[in-house]
Amino acid sequence: MKRSLLIFVLPALALAGCTKIEEEDATLALPEVAAPDLSVETMKSITEELSSDAYEGRAPGTAGEEKATKLISAKFAEAGLEPGNGDSWFQDVPLVGITAKNMSPLTIRGGESDFSFDYGSDYVVASYQEQPKVEVTDSDMVFVGYGINAPERGWNDYADVDVKGKTVVILVNDPDFGTESLDGEFGGRAMTYYGRWTYKYEEAARQGAAAALIIHDTDPAAYGWNVVESSWTGEQFYAQSANGGADQTKLNGWIQKEAAAKIFAAAGEDLAAQMRAAKEKGFKAVDLKQKASVSLENDIKKTDSKNVIGVLKGKTRPDEYVIYTAHWDHLGHCKPAPDGDDICNGAIDNATGTAALVALAEAYVKAGAPDRSVIFLAVTAEESGLLGSKYYAENPIYPLSQTVGGVNMDAFAMAGPATNVVVVGKGKSELDAYLEAALKEDGRVAEAEPTPEKGFYYRSDHFSFAKLGVPMIYFEGGEDMVDGGREAGEAAAKDYTDNRYHGPKDEYDPNWDWTGVMGDLKVYYTVGRMMAMTEDWPNWNEGDEFRAIRDKSRAGS
Ligand SMILES: [Zn+2]
């Protein structure tokens, strides 16, 4: 059955008293989608299996990867998909894994007093360079504010300072973090890419710095020191590069705010005052008048990790593709909990999303192939900086210009059914209308993410595709619970962030209530199925940063 449901996308009238009504009413013809046959048993069993200790936290390049990718491909086959890469279920993703050892303390000399900071508790550092021994010795320290060089905004924290061979000290997030509204040089309260730590290191490397240390601060970073520590210790993965990371800084890392405050004080500076100064346009970098030394040794291992890919060929337009993505990897062995448990099992993050790929594949096959082809892509190394999705997007098996759009799933909320879903990047693309249509039957609503300052838009695999123009939607079950409202939802979310997220206690729980998850899964199904049945090519909204990239990509196809 294929009826057309006309959805009229009306101009936003949210501003009461606003008299200007835009002329253009876009109309989208969205196909109606029959209720899917989704298996809670599949969700439960695969989540439990992938997050069991036998998979050792699914770090790329480990025995846990071997088991996980084997399981996912077997389940794709059982569901009735075809291998997505010719005869193969896999796409090799060349990575280099670097494990640091023999880390020295971080010593600081030359100020009013000398300091020695401990690895792990005071600072963490890693090297992107494939060198067996890396050291920075007596390197001049410079505070470069937010470490942003944004010519299009007339902002350069590196203006008039030469940081070659020096150690730059950087604030996390961006200068208008902490404002109430979304207006401002850097998106107001919302984080821009300039606020992400990945950007800070990229820019420090472009400036020729020897080392880059970000001052940790829980609010603007959006997570506590425990998360920094668990994510930065143990093996770190990078994309293999021809020059072995020679264009990178020698060392990148984080330092606790208390330690940074001591360094500033020893230079006769006040950290809090400098943090305020860094928010102002025209901020000038500050010489911290001290020298940093730190060293470590690297165990270097080249490894081909794997994306797992299955496809359901479209019935009438098989060369047009809709893509579902979820990362299968997690952190592996990590900092032990007080009870000695050192496996970061990643049950919610993201065994649930991986299980969802299989449950969706089953439901798609049962419903019969849609008009367009559907790709199910379980990517590696998300936790190492979206490396698997980035690799696929840069080396696509199916052309991105022919990829209509997609849905990313990363960590299902386990707090029970919610009346809302939260969209990360709401307002960016026409896929919002698909989502609204999919929610309608169950009377649910789509809300914009409440905390754009946390930069979630840059923190999962949809971003790798968006960056290259493919419209992707990323949403999660919301926090307005059917039972207990927002109070209950916020408490559950806080419990997850404080006690489980990226720690050994993100474990499978046989007492979980899956009703909320299954409701969310239905929405993921419906949005993707609509994309796979329509003849439309949903685009980024006018003015969105990715629209021009998409238009160019489509024009070339
Ligand atoms: Zn995740």
How remote is the CA of residue 387 from the centroid of ligand 1, in Å?
Answer: 13
Q: Which residues of 26-35 are buried (b: 16+ CB within 10 A; e: fewer)?
A: eebebbebee
Average pLDDT over residues 420-425: 94
To 10 degrees, what angle do helices 40-50 and 353-367 make?
Answer: 150
Say whether pLDDT at 27 is over 90: no
How remote is the CA of residue 132 from the centroid of ligand 1, in Å?
Answer: 30
Phi, psi for residue 6 in degrees, rounded to 5: -85, 120
Residue 543 near residue 551 (C-beta atoms within 8 A) = no
For residue 40, the model assigns a pLDDT of: 98
How remote is the CA of residue 109 from the centroid of ligand 1, in Å?
Answer: 39
When the pLDDT of each residue in the chain is averaged and rounded to a whole number, the result is: 91
- Weakest-pLDDT range from 6-20, 163-177, 241-255, 281-295: 6-20
For residue 110, the model assigns a pLDDT of: 94
How remote is the CA of residue 455 from the centroid of ligand 1, in Å?
Answer: 14
For residue 437, the model assigns a pLDDT of: 95
How remote is the CA of residue 197 from the centroid of ligand 1, in Å?
Answer: 17
Say whether pLDDT at 20 is over 80: no
pLDDT digits (tens, 9 = 90+) for 51-76: 999 999 999 999 999 999 999 999 99
How remote is the CA of residue 439 from the centroid of ligand 1, in Å?
Answer: 24
pLDDT digits (tens, 9 = 90+) for 245-273: 999 999 999 999 999 999 999 999 999 99
How remote is the CA of residue 447 from the centroid of ligand 1, in Å?
Answer: 20
Residue 99 pairs in a beta bridge with: 299
How remote is the CA of residue 411 from the centroid of ligand 1, in Å?
Answer: 6
Q: How many CA atoms lie within 13 A of 431 on its CB side?
A: 29
Residue 337 near residue 396 (C-beta atoms within 8 A) = no
The token pair at 336 is 């032990």
Residue 540 to residue 282: CA distance in whole angstroms: 33
For residue 432, the model assigns a pLDDT of: 96
pLDDT digits (tens, 9 = 90+) for 466-505: 999 999 999 999 999 999 999 999 999 999 988 999 899 9
How remote is the CA of residue 382 from the centroid of ligand 1, in Å?
Answer: 7
Residue 380 near residue 388 (C-beta atoms within 8 A) = yes
Q: Which residues of 430-445 are buried (b: 16+ CB within 10 A; e: fewer)?
A: bbbbbbbbbbeeeebe
How remote is the CA of residue 147 from the centroid of ligand 1, in Å?
Answer: 26
Instruction: Spell out the residues 6+ positions from residue 151 whose beta carbon is closer than 8 angstroms to its own.
Output: none
Residue 58 to residue 192: CA distance in whole angstroms: 30
Q: Which amino acid is at 363?
A: A
Tell me whether strands 26-31 and 4-9 are parallel, antiparallel or unpaired. antiparallel
- Weakest-pLDDT range from 87-91, 145-149, 195-199, 392-396: 195-199
pLDDT digits (tens, 9 = 90+) for 181-203: 877 888 788 888 889 898 899 99
Residue 258 to residue 255: CA distance in whole angstroms: 8
Q: Residue 9: which pLDDT band, with cuts at 50, 70 and 90?
A: very low
Residue 79 to residue 171: CA distance in whole angstroms: 47
Q: Which residues of 137-163 are buried (b: 16+ CB within 10 A; e: fewer)?
A: eebbbbbbbbbbbbeeeebbbbeebeb
pLDDT digits (tens, 9 = 90+) for 323-359: 999 999 999 998 889 999 999 999 999 999 999 999 9
Cβ neighbourhood burial of 505 (10 Å; 0-12, 13-18, 19+): middle
Dihedral in degrees, nearest 10, Cα atoms 504, 510, 511, 515 = 100
How remote is the CA of residue 348 from the centroid of ligand 1, in Å?
Answer: 8
Say whether pLDDT at 557 is over 80: no
Residue 134 near residue 102 (C-beta atoms within 8 A) = no
Say whether pLDDT at 3 is over 80: no
Say whether pLDDT at 25 is over 80: no
DSSP 8-class letter at 114: -
Average pLDDT over residues 305-309: 98
User: ∠ CA(352), CA(356), CA(360), 5° rounding?
Assistant: 175
Say whether pLDDT at 521 is over 50: yes
How remote is the CA of residue 513 from the centroid of ligand 1, in Å?
Answer: 20
For residue 187, the model assigns a pLDDT of: 78
How remote is the CA of residue 54 from the centroid of ligand 1, in Å?
Answer: 20
For residue 23, the model assigns a pLDDT of: 35
For residue 153, the model assigns a pLDDT of: 85
How remote is the CA of residue 349 from the centroid of ligand 1, in Å?
Answer: 5
Radius of gyration of the chain (CA): 24
How remote is the CA of residue 17 from the centroid of ligand 1, in Å?
Answer: 41
The token pair at 435 is 């989502």
How remote is the CA of residue 94 from the centroid of ligand 1, in Å?
Answer: 20
Dihedral in degrees, nearest 10, Cα atoms 343, 424, 93, 379 = 60
- State the sign of the Cα–Cα–Cα–Cα dihedral 304, 310, 314, 315: positive
How remote is the CA of residue 50 from the centroid of ligand 1, in Å?
Answer: 14
For residue 152, the model assigns a pLDDT of: 79
Say whether pLDDT at 111 is over 90: no
pTM for this prediction: 0.81
For residue 231, the model assigns a pLDDT of: 82
How remote is the CA of residue 259 from the centroid of ligand 1, in Å?
Answer: 30
For residue 28, the model assigns a pLDDT of: 63
Residue 336: C-alpha distances to residues 25, 236, 410, 418 (Å):
56, 17, 24, 33
